[in-house]
Every structure is written in structure tokens, then in C-alpha cells.
Amino acid sequence: MEGRKPTVEELLAKAKEPASKAPAWHAFYRGKVGTALKCAITGYGDFAIWYTPGVAQPCREIQKDPDKVFEYTNKGNMVAVVSDGTRVLGLGDIGPEAALPVMEGKSILFKYLGGVDAFPVTIDTKDPDELIQAVKWIAPAFGGINLEDIASPKCFYVLDKLRKELEIPVWHDDQQGTASITLAGVINALKVVGKEPRRVTYAVIGAGAANIAFVRVLIAYGVPPGNIVMVDSKGILHKGREDLEAKRDENPYKWKYACETNAEGRTGGIPEALEEADVCVAASKPGPGTIKPEWVARMAKDAIVFACANPIPEIWPWEAEEAGAKIIGTGRSDFPNQINNSLGFPGIFRGTLDVFARTITDEMAIAAAEAIAKTAEDRGLREDYIVPTMAEWEVFINEAVAVALKAIEQGIARRILSEDELVRQAERMIKYAREEVEILMREGHIPPPPG
């Protein structure tokens, strides 16, 4: 394909390649994460220090001063990736066992990209209060909780309650993580086309966890709510939606935005929401065909389309381009402009854990978005480059520092470090994680994947 534009058939074949390889690779390694030692073993006598009887002394000191748990254990770098398997990627309610490969995948991204020790914890319940209780029971062992792939609107209730009841950061990546990277993409895409984020109009397709959080963060960033038109499976959100009002107690978030957004009072569905919109952010039903090219053609000049459904975007990038979109992003790594949480959560948690923060605020998420956007801008923005790639590892350091400084500024950090100290800490942890994998591969302890 070098030197010429690939055909649609070639693009489709490329898009299907990861799924075709995945089963064999997963079976070959029998999973993706395990545990590894981080302390020296100079001889069998060391076990008297690492375990009994010596271990009793740090236990006593933690009992006297609970914050010493961050000094004497790995709690301060350990995150639980928690899911009930009710809303997995584009797969839906597939259960905790089937969700486990995704949570393992999340864990390797935490480690390799952010130097964060993460471990999958899939829980066999669909009851939100049981899920909350399970997380509270395991929380003492972790410095943070990453909620993942939990159905909406249950996910909002679970997040809100755990954030109130735990003294460690609880984060729902499908909410705050998606919001951070999407905001970063919007900031830079609008720079490329010469538009101002607070003056343009947004069509937000899908009103689940991802887009509800994105709209909340977008408004916190300064975008007038009236500039936003949201669409769920039944159409545009507006004050006249009696079905949303009837379920306002069950899902107050959708009713809130039905009342606060859409200043023009638009009705209809996706085509009407896209009419003359500057930006389309879709996190809805996997495509192709969820968004049709003729609808994109009705957007404003130099339109931006983020089609982020997985595993297949709502509209193929080449279709959106042919319909007139200037900048297109998807959630996939095999197309340009990947608007994917993997650029956000590793660095955000790195910064959060480095100062032992008690929570992750929307302001910290915005600080991360601005750091992501600036990292790409410093390299030179283009229509096919609005956010960094995962290979540009400085983005995770930049995010970590920005997030940690914001936590310190907001008074929610247990540990105060200077900007230089934060840079060194993030660099050390991320470099260690990458070099550890490289050494194990070089020595043959991690063999290459099957052909």
C-alpha cells in the first residue's frame, strides 16, 4: 500500500486483523498479567525480614500510623481494575469471566504506560450495592480503584457512592478517562481548523457513561451547555422528553442534560443533531452505519467527527472523510487520531498515586486533557495528528505532573512534591516498567507471540 491510497477492502482487512490474531495470542500466554517481586532476595535468610518474624514491626507501625501503609507496602502503586462485566467494550453484558481478558488488558496498559501495578478484579454480581460493598472490602489493599465496563446508569451510582465512602481515588475510566482524552482531542482538532472550543456547537451521539461524563467535563471546561445537543437511542435530549422525566430518579443525569443542553430545542435524532454541528462526538452503537455519510455531509464546514465505538466505529473514517469531515478520530489504534482512554488513565493515575491523592477531581481530568493536548501541539498538529500516540511516552509523564500539581493545589494530596520531583518520580516508575518487560523478553522468559 506504500505510495498509494489503500482500497476500502484493504482497510477493512487491516481493521479485522487484531481480532483474528487475539485468540491465539491470548491462549499462547494464558493471560497477560501476573505478579513479580520488587525486593531483593540475597539469600533465604532474607525471608525472616520480608516475612515472619521481621514483618511484624512494619505491621505494628502501620497500626499506630495508618498512613505508613504507603511507605511500607505497595498500596501506593496498586490499583484494582474492577468490573461486573455488564457493559464491556462494544460487547455488552457478557459477565465477569468473559470480561476478564479486557481487565487484564487494562492492567498491562496501566503497568507499561504508567508504571502502575494494576490487577483485574471481576466481581460476580449485578447488584450495585453488592458491587460497592465488594470494592469497600478490598480497598485496604489498593491505592486506587479503576471501575471498568459497568452498565449505565448503575455506574454513576457506584462511582458517586464509592467516591464519598473511600479515602482513596475511585475513578470510572469509561466516564472520567474518556472525558479527558476526548476533551484533549477536541481542543487540538479545533486548533487545526481555527475554531474556539467555547464558541462551536457539539453533537454528542450516545448518552451513556462516556458521553454523560464528557459533557460534564466539557461544561466544566467552559463550553456553554446550550451549545451541546445530545442524542440517546430514542432521539435528541430536550425538555419535552416525557420518558426521561418519568425516569428522572432512576437516571437523573440524562434528565439534567435534557433540561440544560440544546438551547435551540432541537428534536429528532442523529441527522437533526448533526445539522450544522462543528463537532460530533459519538460513543454509541458500534457500526458501521450508525452514523451515515449523508448526515456528516450536513455538518458545518471543517467538521470534526470522533466515532469512538468499539470494536467498529459508528462510521468508517474513509466514509466520514468522503462526506466532508476535516478531522476524524476513532477509538482504534489502527487508524490515525486514536481517541482512546489508554492515553489518559496510566498518566492520570501515575500522578494521583505519586502524591497519594484522596480522589480524582474533574479539575484533575481537565489538567490531564490540557497536558495531552500540549504534548501533541509541541510536536506539531496535523489533520491526522491531534493527540499523541502511546509510543510517545512523555505524554504520560506530562499528564502525571499536571495531575499531581492540581491535586496539591486542591489540597487533596497526602504528599507534597515539587514539579522536578514529580517528573523524576514519573520517569523512574515508567522507565522501570518498560525495561522490566524488555529484559524478560530479551532473556526469553517472555517468548515472542505466535506467528
Please give the Cα distance from 219 to 206 (Å, whole number).
17
223: three-class secondary structure by DSSP:
coil
To 10 degrees, the CA torsion angle through 175, 178, 180, 186? -130
Pair 331, 339: CB distance under 8 Å: yes
C-alpha cell belonging to residue 31? 493471560
Q: Do 396 and 113 contact (CB within 8 A), yes or no? A: yes
Of 180, 190, 272, 289, the closest CA to residue 230 belongs to: 272
DSSP track, 107-164? HHHHHHHH--EEEEEE-S---HHHHHHHHHHHGGG-SEEEE-S--TTHHHHHHHHHHH
Q: Please report the sign of the dihedral spanned by the C-alpha atoms of residue 6, residue 7, residue 10, residue 11.
A: positive
**Which residues form the catalytic set?**
51, 106
**Helix 154-165 and helix 128-138: axis angle, to 10°?**
30
Could you tell me the three cell numbers for 344? 489518559
As a whole number of angstroms, the distance between CA 85 and CA 3 comes to: 43
356 Cβ contact list (under 8 Å, min separation 6): 67, 70, 76, 143, 413, 414, 415
